[in-house]
Amino acid sequence: MHHRDSLLKLFAKAVVCSAMLTASLAAQQQSSPAPPSKTQVVLLGTGNPFPDPDRSGPATAIVVNGSAYLIDFGAGVVRRAKAAAFDKGIAALEPTNLTVAFATHLHSDHTVGYPDLIFTPWVMGRKLPLEVYGPKGIKAMTDHVLAAWQADIQERIATETWQASNYRDTYKVNVHEISPGVIYKDANVTVTAFPTKHAFPETFGYRFDTADRSIVISGDTTYSQTTIDACHGCDVLVHEASTLGWLANRPDFQSYAAKYHTSTTQLAELATKAKPRLLVIYHASIVLRPALRPQASSPDQLLKEVLSGYTGEVVVPRDLDVY
């Protein structure tokens, strides 16, 4: 009898201790900080003006905590976003979720997808107007796009009775013409614009700072100290490049490239000074299938040229690659 009482007491004590431990763990979990965000860099389009069927126009997405931030909107941007959502499982890039975008500059290869970005997600049920940030001129471009599609807008609002009650408002675009400095901030990200050197009077690169990563995107630019300063050991630097092989085959383009683009030699020097953890090269003078454009270089040649002067980690992405 005494032995049974002792066992019962020990069992009761164990139950109490277990309950106390469970309560303690629960309290620790409640008081511990939320886990850091997982920031993804998604290359929606890695191409340039050449209509390469393997490489859509320039467009990059930063995805943080289920929210997407788009940089540039080249040809094919919305369908690439849908592919990232459908094939890669990145729900933030469902087109109706594309509500914040940044333009580096106004060249057509970076902006020809703008009407698509405005209207396709709207027709598919975007719940908010689009917020767009960019250099001077983006407001006029936006006004002209909306004017060009005015008949479409009016007809859809009048006849598409299944749409949400605010359908007459969600096609709209809130445009923000920017200056260098912090231009956007929310719970996920702080975005800083910095001036670059390209053909327009105003062109920008962008730095994105999140809880776990820092990402810099160059846009089109020649070698620039501002890009080095913006990165300064950043986690990811996404930068354009022209190969020496391509430039040798295009003497007519060499003068323009020297003023407004970055050669692989210059990029190696820039990256050595900027010290990114990962260098991602986009908007490059390459093709995946040589017969498409014999003058262009291969991805391997691009990589070899950069690595001849740079010892860091480098990738040459394909569309829909995620880092």
Catalytic residues: 109
Looking up tokens 């999140």, which residue turns up? Answer: 210
| Helices (runs of H) and strands (runs of E) counted in the chain | 11, 13
The answer to whether the Cα torsion of 245, 250, 252, 256 is positive or negative is: negative
Rounded-to-integer distance, Cα 151 and Cα 183, Å: 33
Q: In what order do the strands lie in the sheet with 204-209?
A: 181-185, 190-195, 204-209, 214-217, 236-241, 278-284, 314-315
> What is the DSSP annotation of 6-53?
HHHHHHHHHHHHHHHHHHHHHHHHHHSPPPPP--EEEEEE---SS--T
CA neighbours closer than 13 Å in the CB half-sphere of residue 72: 33
